[in-house]
């Protein structure tokens, strides 16, 4: 929902075409916005395979639209007609106290592990230096924030254009990070994070990344905001 509201508030009109051109074959999503249970705006969002269009009731024109600054963003995926698109698709839901071990490997920078006992006392091991970081050197607030991020890790959709084995083979040197977390009940989760390259420009997308979750063959697309905070190096947690 956050992505939909963000996009809806920033749409720009490119041009106008006649509403008579509307085809029943076009993908259609009807949207209505409410404030205090009162409808304040309603329109249909259309996608014909290449163009994004909006039609307001009683208007004779279709507005071709784009999202300024995000030309490569697939708006049909944001304004989806599928109910399931707006349901949280959780991968990991662990409270800070539920985490027993967390290992973060940031490619080319650092690898470290936080372990935590049942009383909430944690320890940090630096794999590069092969040493335990003294507790007084760690930023307690930032460590607890890190552990809290695993309460709601979710994905947007599956990427059916590439398999996990192909992604590893083609992007072995481009993996951004590997994150492994083990719960107090012994449940184990892993995420290999890769950049999501734009098909046209070949540059990494700003808001999304590709993830291999638990070594599964299907590659997932995850909002980068969930991953950025998990891929910081060890120095980020030292005073």
149 φψ region: left (φ > 0), alpha (ψ -120 to 50), beta (else): alpha
Share of the chain above pLDDT 90, in %: 44
Among residues 59, 86, 113, the one where a domain terminates is 86
Give per-residue pLDDT as tens, 206-239.
Answer: 778 999 999 999 999 888 777 888 899 999 999 9
Q: Decide which of 60, 86, 112 is a domain's last residue.
A: 86
Residue 83 has pLDDT above 80, yes or no: no
Residue 225 pLDDT: 73
Last residue of a domain, one of 86, 118, 141: 86
Distance CA 69, CA 130 (A): 44
Q: Are residues 117 and 161 in the same domain?
A: yes
Domain shared by 36 and 136, yes or no:
no
Higher pLDDT, 107 or 8: 107
Residue 88 predicted with pLDDT over 70: no
Report pLDDT for 238.
94
Whether residue 57 is found in the same domain as residue 124: no
Do 148 and 77 share a structural domain?
no
- Per the structure, the count of domains in the chain is 2
Is 94 in the same domain as 70?
A: no
Pair 115, 204 in one domain? yes
Residue range(s) defining the domain that contains residue 25: 2-86
Q: Which residues of 98-132 are buried (b: 16+ CB within 10 A; e: fewer)?
A: bbbbbbbbbeeebbbbbbbeeeeebebbeeeeeee
Q: What pLDDT score was predicted for residue 174? A: 86
- What number of other Cβ atoms are within 10 A of residue 19's Cβ? 16
Whole-model pTM: value is 0.64
Say if residue 69 is in the same domain as residue 101.
Answer: no
* Mean of per-residue pLDDT scores for the chain: 86
Q: Are residues 99 and 195 in the same domain?
A: yes
127 and 174 assigned to the same domain? yes
pLDDT of res. 129: 94
The answer to whether residues 121 and 57 belong to one domain is no
Looking at the structure, tell me whether residues 108 and 224 fall in a common domain.
Answer: yes
pLDDT at 86 (0 to 100) = 52
Strand pairing class (90-92; 110-116):
unpaired
Question: Buried b / exposed e across 25-59, counting CB within 10 Å, b at 16+?
Answer: eeebbeeeeeeeeeeeeebbbbbeeebbbbbeeee
CA distances to 45, 62, 77, 157 from 48, rounded to whole Å, are: 10, 12, 13, 21
- Of 141, 14, 146, which Cα lies nearest the Cα of 71? 14
Q: pLDDT value at position 148?
A: 92
> Could you give the strand order of the β-sheet that contains 52-55, starting from the edge strand earlier in sequence?
11-18, 61-67, 52-55, 38-47, 27-35
Residue 72: which residues within 8 A CB-CB, separation 6 or more?
Answer: 198, 199, 200, 201, 205
71 with 98, same domain: the answer is no
């Amino acid at each position: 929902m956050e992505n939909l509201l963000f996009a809806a508030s920033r749409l720009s009109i490119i041009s106008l075409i006649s509403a008579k051109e509307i085809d029943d074959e076009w993908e259609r999503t009807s949207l209505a916005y409410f404030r205090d249970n009162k409808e304040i705006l309603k329109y249909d969002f259309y996608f014909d395979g290449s163009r994004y269009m909006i039609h307001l009731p009683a208007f004779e024109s279709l507005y071709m639209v784009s999202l300024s600054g995000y030309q490569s963003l697939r708006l049909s995926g944001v304004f989806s007609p599928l109910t399931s698109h707006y349901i949280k698709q959780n991968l990991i839901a662990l409270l800070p106290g539920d985490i027993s071990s967390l290992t973060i490997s940031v490619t080319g920078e650092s690898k470290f592990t936080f372990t935590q006992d049942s009383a909430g006392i944690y320890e940090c091991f630096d794999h590069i230096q092969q040493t335990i970081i003294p507790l007084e050197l760690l930023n307690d607030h930032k460590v607890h924030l890190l552990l809290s991020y695993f309460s709601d890790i979710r994905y947007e959709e599956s990427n059916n254009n590439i398999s996990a084995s192909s992604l590893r083979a083609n992007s072995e040197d481009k993996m951004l990070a590997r994150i492994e977390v083990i719960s107090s009940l012994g449940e184990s989760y892993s995420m290999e994070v890769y950049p999501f390259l734009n098909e046209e420009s070949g540059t990494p997308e700003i808001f999304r990344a590709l993830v291999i979750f638990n070594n599964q063959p299907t590659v997932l697309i995850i909002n980068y905001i969930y991953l950025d905070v998990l891929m910081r190096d060890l120095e980020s947690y030292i005073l």
